[in-house]
Structure 1
């Protein structure tokens, strides 16, 4: 049942051309903008990496986050408005299966978002890493998108069709800007630097930055991401139950 539900969700997302263009093309465009238009003004190493490599990891993470957020929040809010979620509640599908299906379907779209940014970095800047580094960075960025998929589900159950996208987009921009994906954390005000280090967006990108630099990701980052995943998933389940009780 779960496998069929995930396939249905992926197929429905694939039919949304606006989603595909916005969330899959935007991180590539931002990578090219940051590394070409602003390249001369921002030509110092970021996160211990050459600008082209650091920006590649940042925008791949940003793309994965945006893909899973957009694939969950606005769609769920719309489904609640049209009555699709009420139909799911009368079907033999558990809360866990519904939430897991939404998260897994959203995760499918994180992978092309990552690969497209990688491709732009190779084609436009000749970025070269070992096969192991490519696979590790891509795999960890993909897995690290799970907390954001759960966050998108939560937003979808807390908002309505009109407010879901503005709320989600505001959260998305905050996670990118303050999480250090648009600029190195060390250039942010001190207070924001402290916030950045506990944000899941910063910790996801940290996986890629450290591997590209030839190091292993710190365990603290993994623990923080798991904590965010548990918190978002738990809150999403509560929001789902609250909606079902109405």
Structure 2
């Protein structure tokens, strides 16, 4: 597996910001060139958006089908890229020694993690553009006041899922990372309150999903893009997940 050059041999390393930007660019292109991750990040969310728009599953939830569906699809995009995509990529980078190698270069561990975060944000921005371009012709009409809190909460959700993805990738074998992240993507996507609101889930799940990062992000984005307000409780839950998963990843992450 090739890695991006940080500086030519015999020369001083580039400034830290440039190193991070180069690593972020490399990570972004790697994710977008991977067919499996591209399907997970773009194709499946688009199929889910169209499916929820043409079926009555979301009827009676305080808005048109597409208005209720899009926030959940954006949340699903964040989970796809930050948790599943980044988790799998990091797990196999660890297996092939890429993480250990890059952590000893001028990029360093801090620059490597920053590059991964930058890549998640870059791919997520592309997903938002694609989903918006498809949703607007379908009739999506979010309140103008909802964009700022909605995008802020989306970034917060991406931070929580990135921390969880790095925690899994850094503590188990790559094959297990592949299985765990894909399985959780399916379970959280279907029953985690991220796409389907809690009130439409089985009664046994309704009291739990609000405390999951998937349920908190889904509910927070629905309130932002439907009502133009911030769900403070959901935002707090996302902050807690980000802090706990981030601390656990720092504590137990294995670089080789």
Query: What is the TM-score of this pair, normalised by structure 2?
Result: 0.82
Give the 3 Å change call, closer, same or farther, for CA 183–18 of structure 1 in structure 2. closer
Give the 3 Å change call, closer, same or farther, for CA 159–130 of structure 1 in structure 2. same
> Counterpart of 2:220?
207
8 Å CA contact 1:23, 1:70 repeated in 2: no
8 Å CA contact 2:83, 2:165 repeated in 1: yes
Task: State the 1:170 CA deviation.
Answer: 1.2
Task: State the 1:130 CA deviation.
Answer: 3.9
Say whether 1:154 aligns with 2:172.
no
How far does the alpha carbon of each residue in 1:101-146 deviate from its partner, in whole angstroms, 9 at most, with x for none?
Answer: 32232222122223322222212x2222344434543443234211
> Counterpart of 1:100?
114
Aligned pair partner of 1:188 in 198, 201, 207: 201
Give the secondary structure class of the aligned counterpart of 1:213: helix
Aligned pair partner of 1:109 in 119, 123, 129: 123
> Counterpart of 2:235?
222
Give distance in 2, aligned partners of 1:112 and 1:3: 17
Say whether 1:20 aligns with 2:38.
yes
Task: State the 1:230 CA deviation.
Answer: 0.8
> Counterpart of 1:5?
23
8 Å CA contact 1:24, 1:67 repeated in 2: no
8 Å CA contact 2:75, 2:214 repeated in 1: yes
Query: What is the TM-score of this pair, normalised by structure 1?
Result: 0.85
> Counterpart of 1:81?
95
Say whether 1:231 aligns with 2:244.
yes
8 Å CA contact 1:28, 1:117 repeated in 2: yes
Count of matched residue pairs: 238
Instruction: Show structure 2 runs of 5+ residues with no match.
Output: 1-15
Task: State the 1:94 CA deviation.
Answer: 4.4
Give distance in 1, aligned partners of 2:36 and 2:228: 38
